[in-house]
Amino acid sequence: MTIDAVGLEASGSAAQRILGVKGKLTAGSTSALNMAIHATRRGGNVSVIGVYGPPGNLVDIGSAMNKGLTFRMNQCNVHRSLPHLLEHIRAGRIETKSMITHRLTLDQVPKAYDMFARKQDNCIKCVIDPHAQA
């Protein structure tokens, strides 16, 4: 089994960057999904939990079909998982402070998205505080 937990945030090929970033014709890079397809043995399973937006251009679906791969995919059921996750955080079993690398105000949202997308300043997780002062 191969797991794609990256989704469209992966760095793509030059064609994907031109079509996606410049031409706005794709909703992100499919390089992680294509790597998963090629890394999986014939008859194997690909589990996709990485998020992809439509349309899914440049996916090597022909190779997946020829290898007889089975795909299982879905987005995280946040409503079901969140209460348990919060319980672990409150109990101190999960340390979250190191995940948050940036705290920004509401008027800095465009900057936060840009910083995260470009992975600038070692950005991992931005928290937007609507009540913070600039």
Q: Is the pLDDT of residue 24 over 90?
A: no
Q: Is the pLDDT of residue 12 over 70?
A: no
| Alpha-helix runs per DSSP H in the chain | 14-17, 31-39, 61-67, 78-90, 109-118
What tens digit of pLDDT does each residue of 53-89 get?
A: 665 567 888 899 999 999 998 877 778 888 999 999 9
Average pLDDT, the chain: 82
To the nearest whole percent, how much of the chain has pLDDT over 90?
A: 25
Which two tokens mark 5? Answer: 């937990």
Q: How is residue 107 annotated by DSSP?
A: G
Which two tokens mark 47? Answer: 């589990």
Alpha-carbon distances, residue 132 vs 57, 97, 103, 123 (angstroms) = 40, 18, 9, 19
What tens digit of pLDDT does each residue of 34-54 get?
A: 889 999 999 999 998 877 766
